[in-house]
Amino acid sequence: MIMKLLLTTILLCFCISGFSQYNFTIKANSTSLSGKKIYFELYNNHNFIPLRSDSLTFENGQIKIEGQLDQFSSFARFDTRDKERSKYATFVIDSGDNNISLELPNETSKILTLKSDVKGNHISDELNDIFTRKAESTKVNGYYKVTPALSTQIFNEQLKKLQEYPNDFGGILLLYRLGRMDYSLAFAKNILETLSAFSEPMRNSTLAKKLYDEKTQLINSVKSAKIGNQASEFKVKDVNNQMFSNSALKGQNYLIVFSATWCGPCQLQLPKLKEMYRKYKSKGLKVIYFNNDDDVVRWKKHVQSNKLDWINVSERLKPAVSKIQRSFGVYAVPTCLLVNKAGTIVYNSDEMDTELDQLESYLRKTIG
């Protein structure tokens, strides 16, 4: 009975967490940083943008930081910001007291040596150990050369490790961060499976619900944009600030190309796309070139300098908040979809042809 009452109380706390704030105190000590300035940043759990920045000096080997969190745990960072040998440490803090030991590492390491009594940091260390153990053999000149297959193995083992901590909010925090590292359909399903292994109070936290909604939306969007499905209708402004809808191309064959001015692979594919358009334009092919960027000036210069005479559109939003692109299950650019006269998606580069090697054969087959 006592346990049921306790869980109910915790659940109630999570339900109101969106309206609550939680006090925290960090007490850090150091022998190697005494008298030196250290920079502290507290991050938003949703997008990892700094909410707070401070600079402090270790007096007698100690610093103290106090503040508030909007959730039970958050990511934070210490940074020496030394121009020649900057060192940093990203870590988890909990509401309540956080006792930390922080030391300078050896000359070759960029990571500050941090020890904490917060369980979330223990879990984070275990996830990092999995990566190091699995990827060590791929290290060349100090850099890891992890293949997609190995990356999947690492992620799956890390997800399995998180299931060992079903009652710790730090596990939810780390699961959410892992969810930002891979936007594939399979990984989204694995994230949701791991989330289901957490206790009910954890699953009812604001961050867990956001993670569930994001991955569910991703799965549904990817499925809807698979070959054989009808292309979703959308409205967006073109480069001349006029509203455009793909419904205007009903009964025509058209490509939707999700791209961005800052995307290197997109620029490498651009000549091939321009050649395909030149070749099939007279046969009725239309191209909707979708820019995924909020820098309108840069985008317009890109259109002009590359003489892009197809349909150029943009939501004029940062990639992370693009709604139309995500409605097609696109979380990375470049991506190319071919829609036939019936409005059916007949080609999706994300499914089987990221280099567009098969695009022309699909164009010939579709246009005839």
How do the domains of the chain map onto residue ranges?
A: 19-116, 143-224, 235-367
Cis-peptide, bond into residue 271, ω within 30° of zero: no
| Residue 29 in this model has a pLDDT that exceeds 50 | yes
Q: Are 59 and 30 in contact (CB under 8 A)?
A: no
Question: How many Å apart are CA 283 and CA 279, to the nearest integer?
Answer: 8
Task: Report the 10 Å Cβ neighbour count for 175.
Answer: 25
pLDDT digits 0-9 by tens, 73-89: 999 999 998 776 789 99
Average pLDDT in the 185-199 region? 96
| Residue 303 in this model has a pLDDT that exceeds 90 | yes
**pTM listed for this prediction:** 0.82
What does the pLDDT read at residue 8? 37
Give the model's confidence band at 274: pLDDT under 50 very low, under 70 low, under 90 confident, else very high. Answer: very high
What does the pLDDT read at residue 115? 96
pLDDT digits 0-9 by tens, 84-112: 678 999 999 999 999 999 999 887 788 99
What does the pLDDT read at residue 340? 97
- Describe the strand order of the beta sheet including 311-314 as a list of residue ranges: 311-314, 286-291, 254-259, 335-339, 345-348
Average pLDDT in the 315-331 region? 87
Q: What is the DSSP string of 89-126?
A: EEEEEESEEEEEEEE---TT--B-EEEES-HHHHHHHH
Q: Are 211 and 191 in contact (CB under 8 A)?
A: yes
Comparing 170 with 320, the larger pLDDT belongs to 170
What does the pLDDT read at residue 10? 39
Give the model's confidence band at 19: pLDDT under 50 very low, under 70 low, under 90 confident, else very high. Answer: very low
Spatial CB neighbours of 132, under 8 Å, sequence gap ≥ 6:
none
> Where is 218: in which H helix or E strand?
helix 206-224
Q: Does domain 235-367 have CATH number 3.40.30.10?
A: yes
| Residue 14 in this model has a pLDDT that exceeds 80 | no
What does the pLDDT read at residue 4? 35
Please state which architecture CATH assigns to domain 19-116: Sandwich (2.60)
| Residue 3 in this model has a pLDDT that exceeds 70 | no
| Residue 197 in this model has a pLDDT that exceeds 80 | yes
Distances (CA, A) of 263 to 23, 260, 288, 293: 41, 5, 17, 10
Sign of CA dihedral 9, 14, 15, 17: positive
Average pLDDT in the 115-129 region? 95
Question: How many Å apart are CA 217 and CA 213, to the nearest integer?
Answer: 6
Task: Please provide the average confidence, as pLDDT, over all residues in the chain.
Answer: 91
Question: How many Å apart are CA 47 and CA 35, to the nearest integer?
Answer: 33
Asked whether the domain spanning 235-367 has the same topology as the one spanning 19-116, the reply is no
What does the pLDDT read at residue 20? 56
Average pLDDT in the 332-356 region? 94
